[in-house]
Structure 1
């Protein structure tokens, strides 16, 4: 994930996303960069319009939110059943 975050930071700062710039950001975060991962990320992002991808991302997150919100309620119901069993 640190490589993706590095690329997003560079994009936000309107800097070119190059192998060298990604490596510098990752190093600045205290991580030893993996040349293969950096090269793969830069190659993959060369064909992506990052601005459009970021605009489309909130729609995907919003669609997943209701499923995540329902999970704790189910867990709480299961806990109540366990408490009833313990009382018997």
Structure 2
């Protein structure tokens, strides 16, 4: 998990996510970096829009909070709209499932 945190820290700082930078962060935190895991993480994140992934990961939380804030509006929603929302959530979960394999 510390490898992912290192990548997120680099992203938040606007720094390039590469092997050297991840190793430097891990070393500063007192973690002995595994070269294979660092290389795998950098390769997996190549071409990934981290901001977009973070937005999509946060989306189900926001959707779940909205009905709690307005229960009357949720009761009035037609069944077709609910099915569309469920399908959209399933698609988002499938997209995020691939990312979960990177951090296991």
Does TM-score exceed 0.5, indicating one fold?
Answer: yes
Task: Rate the CA distance shift 1:42–1:64 in 2: closer, same or farther, 3 A.
Answer: farther
Structure 2 gaps of 5+ residues are 66-104
2:37 matched residue in structure 1:
37
1:50 matched residue in structure 2:
50
User: Number of matched residues?
Assistant: 65
The equivalences for 1:9-88 within 5 A come to: 9-61=9-61
For 1:55-80, what per-residue CA distance to the aligned partner results, in whole angstroms no more than 9, with x for missing partners? 11112445688xxxxxxxxxxxxxxx
Rg comparison, structure with higher value: 1
TM-score when normalising by structure 2: 0.57
Higher relative contact order (CA 8 A, sep 6+): 2
Task: Rate the CA distance shift 1:41–1:64 in 2: closer, same or farther, 3 A.
Answer: farther
Cα drift, residue 20 of structure 1: 0.3
SS of match in other structure, 1:31: coil
CA RMSD of aligned residues (A): 1.7
Cα drift, residue 2 of structure 1: 0.2
Q: Which runs of 4+ in 1 moved over 6 A?
A: none
Task: Rate the CA distance shift 1:63–1:32 in 2: closer, same or farther, 3 A.
Answer: farther
Task: Tell me the distance in 1 between the aligned counterparts of 2:30 and 2:63.
Answer: 35
